[in-house]
Amino acid sequence: MTYRFATAQDIELLASLNRQLNEDEKSTPLLTTEQLLARMTSWLEGNHQAVLFEKNSGVVAYAIYCTGERAPGEIFHFIRQFFVCREHRRRGYGREAVRLLSTEIIPRTEHLVLDVLYNNEVGRAFWKALGFTEHCITLELPPTTDD
Ligand SMILES: CC(C)(COP(=O)(O)OP(=O)(O)OC[C@H]1O[C@@H](n2cnc3c(N)ncnc32)[C@H](O)[C@@H]1OP(=O)(O)O)[C@@H](O)C(=O)NCCC(=O)NCCS
């Protein structure tokens, strides 16, 4: 597996993969194509990095992350999105992409964190299989709807 950092030329591809990720995670409301393109553009023009993972020159997965400081001198990297293309799953590509992300791309000496939706059982099994442990549980009081 090889990887490369995405550029402005990859925004449409990333927005399309982001749509598939949202479908898989059953995100609501689903963003429109314009919204996905605008958000991806602003992330890449801002403080986010996008990495495309390739096999035989074809994209099989992507990750988007940003970097911050949790406390003075304590660098952490937040994985905003991680996705393996549907036709390429259960072949170890996700595991290999995260290995590259957490060794070659992000120094192993720094914290790597992410949010996974509670209902995303496959996602939770995946991250646990890779050695990620639960650090914080986010609670939500859903808004009421007007009748
Ligand atoms: C979660 C996801 C990234 C896994 O990618 P993948 O390439 O299929 O994962 P791998 O083949 O590298 O699997 C690594 C390990 O994760 C676990 N795993 C992966 N898919 C699983 C599944 N469907 N059910 C249970 N465990 C699973 C297994 O322990 C697996 O090891 P094994 O194959 O030796 O059993 C992929 O299914 C995906 O992109 N899903 C939609 C997006 C998503 O949920 N992203 C994470 C959001 S936080």
* One pLDDT digit (tens) per residue for the chain, 147 residues: 999 999 999 999 999 999 999 999 998 888 999 999 999 999 999 999 999 999 998 999 999 999 999 899 999 999 999 999 999 999 999 999 999 999 999 999 999 999 999 999 999 999 999 999 999 999 999 999 876
Q: Give the torsion sign (CA, 37, 38, 39, 41).
A: positive
What pLDDT was estimated at residue 28?
84
What pLDDT was estimated at residue 145?
81
Distance of CA 55 to the CA centre of its chain: 18
What pLDDT was estimated at residue 17?
98
pTM (two decimals): 0.95
SS3 28: coil
Residues with CB under 6 A from ligand 1: 21, 24-25, 82-84, 89-95, 114, 116, 120, 122-123, 125-126, 129
Pair 39, 32: CB distance under 8 Å? no
Which single residue is written with the structure tokens 């914290």? 111
Pair 65, 98: CB distance under 8 Å? no
Q: Where are the alpha helices (DSSP H) in the chain?
A: 11-24, 33-45, 93-100, 121-129
Check residue 104 and report its DSSP letter.
I
- CA-closest residue to ligand 1 atom 10: 92
**How far does residue 136's CA lie from ligand 1's centre (Å)?**
21
**To which CATH superfamily is domain 2-129 assigned?**
Gcn5-related N-acetyltransferase (GNAT) (3.40.630.30)
Domain ranges (residues) in the chain: 2-129
